[in-house]
Each structure stands twice: as structure tokens, then as C-alpha cells.
């Protein structure tokens, strides 16, 4: 999936610039629930997780449109990776019962049938399910290989009323920005636990998140230019400057989605944070802590953290058939996908010297916006690192309520903290991958200075 950022109804796709601001009512409701919990109401962990249901009408309304399915279908890296994973492992699909979780246009169901599946259950909650049915109603003359091979189930996978058999394979594309935005992985994991036969296969099998520090004075300056609007002391006679600090927090809390130049990275990415979809639990998905450590390659300024992911399809060996592992990357130096990459800006850059070791963590907790509140810390060299459990991620909502978060303001020279709202994505279009050729670019153009001997 994954072309959808629930709040900015638009999409993770760069063509979508429609921005709808946060639904305050939902956030305030979540804040109230958290306040109630603080005041001692006893609820189990499951109840405590903000539910996604309030957003469902907007979320599934988005996916009901052919336009948005098309947006994903034409991501050729994405679609061809799925097709390769299925066709190169047709032994896994041959005569298998398959469930396609979040079938959308049905494309993965069709690939599965093509690879020899005995039958496919195409589960789709949105009205796009009707389009799958329309396509299947024409199998006398079109796509004859699909005749009687696919059953459409229009329901959230969590709410299926009819008895469905357990399946040999679950296929799904539940991936959002930075892998987990949209919270559809929870539905994927639900389907695995309820519908997969023991020893069955889930595709994709795993995903990994990569984080790396970047420098980008232009992006920082563009962001500050927007913030500085709130410095106006005489805007049609109004002094807006009392809101300057809040504006700064809000702008810097917006993850910047877009392709960026891999040459702006100040260090090789940290060891990947791997999610094994065959074993990860829903509870684990609700509160993720992603540690990182980088040895920086350049002297310069870290303006923030860049992130991307990869996806891996690992087939189980069946008899003599070993199949092939298929993977795709959304890294800045890989072919573009509609997920692009994401950058988390720091309100104050972190100065580093080549060879410094920067350590830190991102703590990501689900919210009611089908997304995550993220808190993070970076420290240089021997500076003691704090416990992510103390990050107070839930307080991030204060950005939209009343108080300015205190946690953010705490820092000493070699420590930076940030908080970001993964649902409030903003977009960066300024980077033209072909504008600067490799030969023309030199690190010092971006104020990145390699160590001298």
C-alpha cells in the first residue's frame, strides 16, 4: 500500500500535495484518553493503544479511488519487485490457497493466480473491492486465467464475518513511509496469526529501516523561512511573534518526505533495524525503539536524520525447490519509489568532526492518526545517552494542545533532541537528481569537509 499519509490526505507520493491539517478532534480525544490513563484508570495494554478506527472513513475513502491505486501500480520498482517475488517463487504459489491482505486493485491476487495458486481470497476493506469484482465479472473474455480463481471479501481483515479457510500463503503490501506509517502492518500481523497455516509463507518476509545523518543547509533555511512568518510584529496590524516558538516546533516536527541526494549523507547508515514479519507481534509494532550509531565521515553540520527501508521476500524451500530471495531498497541511491525517503530535521544543527561517533535512538509510538509520534536523541562521542523510555512521546501532542513540550528544550552542546509527527508530512521537491553530476559535486559545496591527512 502505502501511498497514503492519513493526515495529509494526499500521499507519500510526490505528486500529491494536497495537505489536510491534523484532525484536532481526534488528537484531542487521544490526549484525553492519555490523561485519563495518567489519572489511574486501569486498562490493559491493548486498550491503551490508540485505535485507528476513527480515521477509517478517510483512509478507506482514499483507497477506494482508482487514481490512488494507479499511483501504486505505476511504481515500477514496487510492482515489479512483487511480481518477481511471486513468479520467481511460483513453487510457493503452485496449488496454494492464498490470502491477499488489502488487495486494492487486486494486482497481487492476479499475480498469485498467474503463478498457479489454487484459489485466492482478495480481502479489501474499501470500495475498491467492487472494482476487483467488476474485473472478475469479465473473465469470459478478459484475463481468462482468473476465472473462478479469486474470491473478493470486502471487509477489514480484522472484521471478516464469513468462515475462511487457513491459507498457505499471505501476500500483502502493507508498507507506508518509513515502513510503518499507516499502521497497516498491524493488519498484516493479525491476518498472519488468524489465517496462515502453520509453516505457511508470508510475503514480504521482513523489512529493515536505515537511518543516516544528513546535512542540508538549504532545507533548513527553507524551513526557517516558513517559521519566520510568525516573527511578524505587524501583520495587518497584528503581532504574531508570541507564536514564534510554537511555529518552530510545529514546522520542525513535520517529517520531510521526498527523494534526497545521497551525497548529503554525513555517515554510512547505522546497522539496519530489522522487522521480521514472520514473528513480530502487534504489541511490538505499537512502540518501537530504533537505536543507531554512526561514525561520521565529514566535519560539518548534521541538520537531521534521513530514513528509508528495504523489503525482503524469502521463500521457504519446498522439496528440491529453493526459490529465490527477492528484495528492494528505497535508499536515496536506489531507483525512486513512491515511498521516497523521509528526513527528520533538528531545530538546531549538531556540529561534528570527521571521525566522531554519534549515537542515538528514535522512539516511535502509535497514535490515532494511523501513524506514529516519534521522539529522538543524538549525542556525540562520550556524551551519556538517555533512556528512550523517558522520552515522553505522548506529550508530543502538546504541540497541538496547549503547552510547549519541555523535553524538547533540554540540551547541552553535544546532545540534540527532536520530536516528529509522522502523520504531518511535508514534501520537498527542490532536489533534482540530475542537476549536479557526480563529477561536478564536491563535498565542500555542501559544507562537508573530509578529514585532512
Cell numbers describing residue 133: 469484482
CA–CA separation, 64 and 187 (whole Å): 18
Output the smallest distance, CB 38 to ligand SAH, in A.
30
- Could you confirm whether 182 is annotated as catalytic? yes
Half-sphere exposure of 82 (CA within 13 A, CB side): 26
Output the smallest distance, CB 127 to ligand SAH, in A.
9
Site residues for ligand SAH, 316-375, by CB under 6 A, read none
Q: What angle do CA 286, 291, 292 make, to 5 degrees?
A: 145
Output the smallest distance, CB 229 to ligand SAH, in A.
36
Kindly tell me which of 192 and 417 has the beta carbon lying closer to ligand SAH: 192
- Pick from 89, 112, 187, 329 the residue near ligand SAH by CB under 6 A: 187
Taking Cα atoms as reference points, which of 339, 446, 429 lies closest to residue 78?
A: 339
Establish if 1 lies at the interface with ligand SAH (CB under 6 A): yes
Kindly tell me which of 125 and 275 has the beta carbon lying closer to ligand SAH: 125
Provide the pairing of β-strand 415-421 with 371-380: antiparallel
Kindly tell me which of 64 and 379 has the beta carbon lying closer to ligand SAH: 64
Choose the binding region for ligand SAH from 151-159, 280-288, 365-373, 434-442 (rule: CB under 6 A).
151-159
- Pick from 184, 219, 253, 342 the residue near ligand SAH by CB under 6 A: 184
DSSP for 346-375 reads EEEEEEE-TT-EEEEEEEEEEETTTEEEEE
Output the smallest distance, CB 12 to ligand SAH, in A.
11
Kindly tell me which of 105 and 297 has the beta carbon lying closer to ligand SAH: 105
- Could you confirm whether 20 is annotated as catalytic? no
Kindly tell me which of 73 and 217 has the beta carbon lying closer to ligand SAH: 73
- Pick from 55, 156, 338, 419 the residue near ligand SAH by CB under 6 A: 156
Site residues for ligand SAH, 90-129, by CB under 6 A, read 102-105, 107-108, 123-126, 128
Residue 372: exposed, middle, or buried by beta-carbon count in 10 A (0-12, 13-18, 19+)?
buried
CA–CA separation, 296 and 372 (whole Å): 28
Cell numbers describing residue 393: 512521546
Cα dist from 97 to 76, 86, 142, 176, 196, whole Å: 26, 14, 23, 26, 10
CB-CB contact of 368 with 27 (8 Å) = yes
Per rule CB under 6 A, count of chain residues that contact ligand SAH: 22
Establish if 63 lies at the interface with ligand SAH (CB under 6 A): yes
Given 43, 124, 162, 173, which residue is catalytic?
173
Given 20, 43, 124, 182, which residue is catalytic?
182
3-state DSSP call for residue 315? coil
N residues, the chain? 453
Q: Which residues are catalytic?
A: 173, 182
Q: Under the rule (CB under 6 A), what is the footprint of ligand SAH?
A: 1, 60, 63, 72-73, 102-105, 107-108, 123-126, 128, 156-158, 173, 184, 187
Amino acid at each position: 500500500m502505502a501511498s497514503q499519509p492519513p493526515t495529509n490526505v494526499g500521499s507519500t507520493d510526490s505528486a500529491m500535495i494536497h495537505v489536510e491539517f491534523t484532525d484536532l478532534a481526534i488528537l484531542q480525544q487521544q490526549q484525553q484518553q492519555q490523561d485519563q490513563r495518567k489519572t489511574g484508570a486501569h486498562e490493559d495494554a491493548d486498550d491503551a493503544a490508540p485505535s485507528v478506527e476513527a480515521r477509517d472513513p478517510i483512509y478507506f475513502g482514499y483507497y477506494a479511488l482508482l487514481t490512488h491505486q494507479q499511483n501504486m501500480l505505476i511504481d515500477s520498482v514496487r510492482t515489479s519487485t512483487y511480481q518477481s517475488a511471486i513468479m520467481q517463487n511460483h513453487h510457493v504459489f503452485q496449488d496454494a490457497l492464498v490470502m491477499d491482505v488489502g488487495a486494492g486493485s487486486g494486482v497481487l491476487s492476479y499475480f498469485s493466480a498467474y503463478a498457479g495458486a489454487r484459489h485466492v481470497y482478495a480481502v479489501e476493506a474499501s470500495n475498491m473491492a467492487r472494482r476487483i469484482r467488476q474485473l472478475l465479472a469479465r473473465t469470459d473474455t478478459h484475463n481468462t486465467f482468473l476465472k473462478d480463481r479469486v474470491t473478493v471479501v470486502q471487509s477489514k481483515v480484522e472484521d471478516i464475518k464469513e468462515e475462511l479457510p487457513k491459507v498457505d500463503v499471505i501476500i500483502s503490501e502493507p508498507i507506508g513511509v518509513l515502513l510503518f506509517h499507516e499502521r497497516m502492518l498491524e493488519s498484516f500481523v493479525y491476518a498472519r496469526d488468524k489465517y496462515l497455516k502453520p509453516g505457511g509463507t508470508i510475503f514480504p518476509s521482513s523489512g529493515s529501516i536505515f537511518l543516516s545523518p544528513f546535512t542540508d543547509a538549504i532545507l533548513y533555511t527553507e524551513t526557517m523561512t516558513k517559521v519566520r512568518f510568525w516573527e511578524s510584529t505587524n501583520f495587518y496590524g497584528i503581532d504574531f511573534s508570541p507564536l514564534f516558538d510554537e511555529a518552530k516546533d510545529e514546522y520542525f516536527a513535520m517529517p520531510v518526505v521526498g527523494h534526497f541526494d545521497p551525497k548529503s549523507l554525513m555517515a554510512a547508515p547505522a546497522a539496519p533495524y530489522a522487522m521480521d514479519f514472520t514473528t513480530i507481534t502487534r504489541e511490538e509494532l505499537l512502540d518501537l525503539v530504533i537505536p543507531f550509531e554512526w561514525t561520521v565521515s565529514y566535519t560539518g553540520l548534521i541538520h537531521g536524520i534521513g530514513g528509508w527501508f528495504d523489503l525482503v521476500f524469502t521463500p521457504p524451500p519446498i522439496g528440491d525447490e529453493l526459490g529465490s530471495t527477492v528484495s528492494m531498497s528505497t535508499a536515496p541511491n536506489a531507483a525512486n519509489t513512491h515511498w521516497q525517503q523521509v528526513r527528520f530535521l533538528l531545530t538546531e544543527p549538531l556540529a561534528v568532526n570527521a571521525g566522531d561517533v554519534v549515537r542515538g535512538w528514535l522512539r516511535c509510538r502509535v497514535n490515532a492518526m494511523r501513524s506514529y509520534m516519534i521522539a529522538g536523541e543524538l549525542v556525540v562521542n562520550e556524551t551519556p545517552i538517555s533512556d528512550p523510555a523517558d522520552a515522553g512521546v505522548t506529550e508530543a501532542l502538546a504541540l497541538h494542545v496547549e503547552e510547549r513540550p519541555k523535553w524538547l528544550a533540554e540540551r547541552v552542546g553535544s546532545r540534540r533532541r527532536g520530536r516528529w509527527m509522522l502523520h504531518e508530512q511535508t514534501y520537498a521537491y527542490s532536489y533534482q537528481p540530475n542537476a549536479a553530476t557526480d563529477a561536478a559535486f564536491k563535498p565542500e559545496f555542501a559544507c562537508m569537509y573530509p578529514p585532512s591527512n
